Amino acid sequence: MFKNYFYLNRALLELRDKLIGIKIYEVFTQEKETLYFHIPTEENEFRHLVISINQSEPYLIIKDEHRKARKNVANFYSDLLPSEIESVLIAQDDRIIKIKCSNFYLLIPIRGTISNVIAIPENGEPEFFRKVKQIDENELISELISHNYNALFNLPNPLANGQSLDELKKTFSYLTKDILNELKARTSSDDINLQKDTLLRIISQINSDPIQIFYTNDLSRYVFVPSGFISLSRDSEIYEYDNYQDALLKFLAVGNKLSREQRLQKEISKHIVKELSIYSNKLNSLQQRIDEGSKEELYRKYADLLLSNLHKIKKGMKEIILDDFTNSETYKISLNDKFSPKQNVDYYYDKARGERINYSKSLELYKAAKTSYNNILDIQKEFENCDELSKLISLKEKLDLKDSKVTEKNEPQMKFRHFIIENKYHVFVGRDSKSNDYLSTKFAKQNDYWFHARGYAGSHVLLRVDNPKEGVPKNIIKNAASIAAYFSKAKTAGTAPVAYTFAKFVTKRKGMEPGKVMMQKENVLLVKPEIPNNTEQIEE
């Protein structure tokens, strides 16, 4: 309600005595939609009149201590200053403020998104704080000048004009919903004269009553009302002030605190839901892998049988049927027709070793994921009992949530698919030609591993190496290669060749098509296109 015409009227009457006779030396802005008027006195060298035309929080207040920022500052009305304030007025029928100075005057219409601060000199062109878009500038100024201004508290005179309450609403647009709700709370009578008398008492209270600030469940927010208002429940500590300025400063403070609490609650809740979903999916996936059991013995059996029957295997064969005389069983073993007999044997020994490591790692990952999942559940319970900003801030720190950083204007916003292998190794996958280029030439560090499906169109893939002195295990490199194959035209193949090298050996010459790069050195791995079981997707 602090934006209501009558409270704005009261604010100007309170500010009037503090402003008349004071000189304005400088006007500047250092934040969006807010102007600072430097009005120093002998007691307060850094005193400023602050005018906000933000549609949610329009106000005028005096700050006794405000220091001008050193950068990102723009000055206004410099040719008109210094100038002494002679009068502070308000339109009799609208939220328009007029501040008369010795050689110019300010018109300040409070009208939502088209609010403005306009300096009109005695000789010269008007200067607008905000560019006018919806209406011609001259038409706007003519309309603003046409109003009658005074330095009084402007009560409507409903008894003199004989209008009904509905007619009054149309005549006096500043009879806002909160005032009319208070009227309904005070009287249910249909007597128009009683309604008008009650309405005048309500408006008079806005002018003279102490101002109360409290949280109300009726509106789910803090309110700024006269102490005599009865239409709203008081559901928090009540702050009471005799003057508008002190009340407004408190109202803005508690409102900002509540907004921050609500933002933190939303941020933390979103993070908890996301983390529970991630760990739940991970636990289900790992449990499925564990339930399947280890195939180490089977793959080793295949390798042993192939080794003992090496003379029967010919390059180009896709499968072979062999008898195991130790248990009288027959096995049909798939072969890679491009491999030599020895390579097929090595392939199954590698698979057996990989299966042992993978199964053991799955057990470890399941245990770690279960612990993390339970920790998040504990934090969720703690969050449900958080009722103070300090507790929310502490919980945010506990979750290690970082504040979002502002991206530099020249820094393109590029999003990659993001995976993490074994809860440690980060893999980034380009989404298109543009992001592939950015990933390979700007985002990559020289000791990162770079991957691309060989002979197939596909995404550029990067395995981040945070510590070059710490070697990356071979299975991690193969996992990253599998991801590169998966995000390529070789996705449906049984196996696919993937080229990889250090990112420092990947270059892009001037004139090359988007998504095209050159490798100075390369190695090749033959892998299955897949998202490995030990890999978790962080960013879609």
pLDDT in tens, 392-408: 888 888 887 765 443 33
- d(CA 10, CA 154) in angstroms, rounded, equals 9
What is the structure's pLDDT at 341? 92
Residue 74 phi/psi, 5-degree rounding, is -125, 135
Pure H helices in 212-340: 244-292, 296-308
Residue recorded with tokens 């504990």: 378
What is the structure's pLDDT at 526? 94
What is the tens place of the pLDDT at every residue in 37-53? Answer: 999 999 999 999 999 99
| Single-letter code of the amino acid located at 32 | K
What is the structure's pLDDT at 420? 87
Which residues contact residue 216 at a Cβ distance below 8 angstroms, ignoring those fewer than 6 apart? Answer: 222, 223, 232, 233, 234, 235
3-state secondary structure of 334: strand
What is the structure's pLDDT at 105? 96
Under 8 Å between Cβ of 118 and 126: yes
Parallel, antiparallel, or unpaired: how do β-strands 535-539 and 523-527 relate?
Answer: unpaired
Parse the chain into domains and list their residue ranges. 5-150, 158-254, 262-404, 417-539
What is the structure's pLDDT at 401? 77
> What is the helix (H) or strand (E) element at residue 186, kind and residue range?
helix 177-186
CA torsion sign for 444, 450, 455, 456 is: negative
- d(CA 287, CA 280) in angstroms, rounded, equals 10
- Topology of the domain covering 5-150: ibrinogen binding protein from staphylococcus aureus fold (2.30.310)
Q: Which of 208, 207, 196, 191 is nearest to 169 (CA)?
A: 196
Q: What dihedral do alpha carbons 508, 509, 515, 519 form, nearest 10°?
A: -50
What is the structure's pLDDT at 382? 87
Average model confidence (pLDDT) for the chain?
88
Residue recorded with tokens 């402003």: 19
What is the structure's pLDDT at 406? 37
Tens digit of pLDDT per residue, the chain (540 long)?
Answer: 788 899 999 999 999 999 999 999 999 999 889 999 999 999 999 999 999 999 888 999 999 988 888 888 999 999 999 999 999 999 998 999 999 999 999 999 999 888 999 999 988 899 999 887 767 888 999 999 999 999 999 887 655 555 666 776 676 667 888 888 998 999 888 888 888 888 889 999 999 999 999 999 998 889 999 999 999 999 999 999 999 999 998 998 888 888 888 888 888 889 999 989 989 998 998 999 899 898 999 999 999 999 999 999 999 999 999 998 888 899 999 999 999 999 999 999 998 888 888 888 889 999 999 999 999 999 899 888 887 777 888 888 888 776 544 333 334 455 789 998 887 889 999 999 999 999 999 899 999 999 999 989 999 999 999 888 778 889 899 999 999 999 999 999 999 999 999 999 999 888 888 889 998 899 999 999 999 888 888 765
What is the structure's pLDDT at 414? 59
**Distances in whole angstroms, Cα of residue 63 to Cα of each of 50, 99, 365, 480:** 7, 18, 57, 58
The tokens for 198 are 């009650």
Q: Which of 319, 296, 284 is nearest to 494 (CA)?
A: 319
What is the structure's pLDDT at 309? 92
> What is the helix (H) or strand (E) element at residue 519, kind and residue range?
strand 518-519
- d(CA 463, CA 502) in angstroms, rounded, equals 9
Burial of 258 (0-12, 13-18, 19+ CB in 10 A): middle
Residue recorded with tokens 């300040």: 108
- d(CA 62, CA 19) in angstroms, rounded, equals 9
What is the structure's pLDDT at 411? 40
| Single-letter code of the amino acid located at 421 | I
Q: Which of 101, 100, 118, 120 is nearest to 109 (CA)?
A: 118
Under 8 Å between Cβ of 220 and 262: no
What is the tens place of the pLDDT at every residue in 130-148? Answer: 887 767 888 999 999 999 9
- d(CA 283, CA 365) in angstroms, rounded, equals 9
pTM above 0.85, yes or no: no
Which residues contact residue 38 at a Cβ distance below 8 angstroms, ignoring those fewer than 6 apart? Answer: 24, 25, 26, 27, 28, 47, 48, 68
What is the structure's pLDDT at 84? 97
- d(CA 167, CA 109) in angstroms, rounded, equals 25
- d(CA 374, CA 529) in angstroms, rounded, equals 33
Query: DSSP state, 326?
Result: T
Under 8 Å between Cβ of 452 and 437: no
Parallel, antiparallel, or unpaired: how do β-strands 118-121 and 127-128 relate?
Answer: antiparallel
Parallel, antiparallel, or unpaired: how do β-strands 239-241 and 221-226 relate?
Answer: unpaired
What is the structure's pLDDT at 466? 83
- d(CA 343, CA 301) in angstroms, rounded, equals 16
